[in-house]
A and B are shown apart, each in its own frame.
Chain A
Amino acid sequence: MHAVLRAIFEPGFFTSSLVALAVAVGTLVAIVAGVIGVFTVLRGQSFAGEALGDIGAAGGSSAYLAGIPALWGFVGVAVAAAGVMELIGIQRARGRDLATGVVLGAGFGLAALFLYLGTTYDNTTGATVTILFGSIFALNSSILPLLALLGAIALGTIVVLYRPLLLSSVSSELAAARGLPVRLIGAAYLFAMAVAVALSAVTIGAILSTALLVGPAATALQLTRRPGHAIVAAALIGIAAMWLGVLLAYDSYYWPPLRHGWPVSFFVVTLILIAYIISRTVGARRAVR
């Protein structure tokens, strides 16, 4: 038994402060992303979530250029981008893919510039990886309060708007008929999503952040149609993926042949995909019966 445990949890796992921080951050972020992600999938706006993540890359790299923590950049730019998307009508299906795609291209162009300038300026090259693909083991514990605050704001928005948001996500016509300010609700939700994306970006990188937002939520929705249950399930799945991802990444430092350490983000994303595939096959099996 001991041997098994030792094989799973490589030495130092439970004592490393890096790991502790990573798990704390990961848990927090997974909850926020899971909850908000359910609405993202219900509203069919995963593309917007993806775009916000990619645009967040520009934000993170601009922060890096300015010498401030990437999270500021992620949040600032993602929220601003959400505002722009709202203005050019992201909520209407028509033309939204195009609009977000084009903005995304501009965002990446900016990210390219900032990263280039930043790395030329201080002669390091690691920023690209950190910002785009995450580096949860390289976080500073001072980031926790800010993360918690942002998470609270995002979750708070969802809690306050829960029923109107749910109705307008399922059917905006019904919601409008009830007199709900559909556009306003949508805007508030977009901002919450921007925050969720920024938080995900801190853990697994801007480009991959959408997996944490959309994956657990989509998986949860395959398993249950009830939104309340799906929200809880999504958060749990996200947390599981995070914990397992951190564990595997830590262990991978000891894996032959390279003893190199695989990226956390890779594990998290892969686990989420596996979970989704499993839920799809289960769902398909159920439908046939």
Chain B
Amino acid sequence: MIARARALPLTDDALVVDGVTVRLGGRTVLDNVSCSVRPGEFTGLIGANGAGKTTLFRVILGLEQPSAGSVRVAGGGSESSGRGGTDVGYVPQKFQLDPDMPLRGRDLVGLGLDGHRFGLPLPSRSRRQLVQEMLDAVDAGAFADARVGQLSGGEQQRILIAHALISRPKLLLLDEPLANLDLRSAQEVVGLVSRIAREQQLAVLISAHEMNPLLPVMDRLVYLAAGRAASGTAEEVITSDVLTKLYGHHVDVLRVHGRVIVVAGTGHDEHAAVEMGGASVEIV
């Protein structure tokens, strides 16, 4: 007998976030956030800097305990989501790879497979093949043997994606992967990840503060503002009503040539903040 009405959906969902609240340093960073991602779905987590995207990722990875709510990954238990397991692949936002470090991209990808295992690795052909497959899947074969710290940002990004994918996770988290890339590289990464998502029926959650580059490929999105979240398709979520409720003050949504512009402020104010697909620009 299920005593509580609020039952978590029987899940073929790769990720279920249910009512997660996180309070850090007296501030409510996440307030009753719920969303879910199905296998093969490419979901964007959109929010301005400081909106709580990384915090949500940390909760999903089990690195942060929510004050309320739960997270379930791929049908696993809500307490141990992802932690220590290989169900969640993670591509961090900030990483510093020492240019002089003796490590090839190939080695780093290999570490994605067994980097958490103790003991010395036994050389095995199957491991080598798997690494090569991954490198090919992300088109990194050309620079896989170069010093990983000397690769360009985009190249390192791909290596890290391969590193995250090699353990065949059910969910792939990418933390602001587009932030430091030029437009072309950003488009390549987005295209690459969405292709892999469809091919491998992988659930992808990609965080960004600019939603426009993702609009063409996103199946759904989760919009974070003021600690609260709204999720659904872009048409459902990016509307004046939904966002106004989220922000707590009036918000207009303009669609211009397929791009979305979010405008906050009522015009009675001395200045309005214009959010270009998520990034704020002050107009005085």
Contact = CB atoms under 8 A, between A and B. Distances in A.
B237 to A, nearest CB: 38
Contacts, number: 4
Nearest to B100: A95
B12 interface: no
Interface string A75-102: 0000000000000000000110000000
Overall SS of chain B's interface: loop
A95 B100 CA distance: 9
Contacts of B99: 94
Q: How large is the interface on B (under 10, 10 to 19, 20 to 34, 35 or more residues)?
A: under 10
B98 interface: yes
A95 B98 CA distance: 9
Interface in B46-103: 98-100
Overall SS of chain A's interface: loop
Contacts of B100: 94-95
A94 B100 CA distance: 9
Contacts of A95: 100
A95 B99 CA distance: 10
Nearest to B98: A94
B102 to A, nearest CB: 13
Nearest to A95: B100
A95 B149 CA distance: 13
B97 to A, nearest CB: 11
B231 to A, nearest CB: 37
Interface string A96-139: 00000000000000000000000000000000000000000000
Contacts of A94: 98-100
A289 B229 CA distance: 32
A94 B99 CA distance: 9
Contacts of B98: 94
Interface in B265-281: none
B201 to A, nearest CB: 41
Nearest to B99: A94
B96 to A, nearest CB: 9
B150 to A, nearest CB: 12
B100 to A, nearest CB: 7
A259 to B, nearest CB: 54
B147 to A, nearest CB: 14
Interface of A: 94-95
4 contacts: A94-B98, A94-B99, A94-B100, A95-B100
Closest 4 CB pairs of A and B: A95-B100, A94-B98, A94-B99, A94-B100
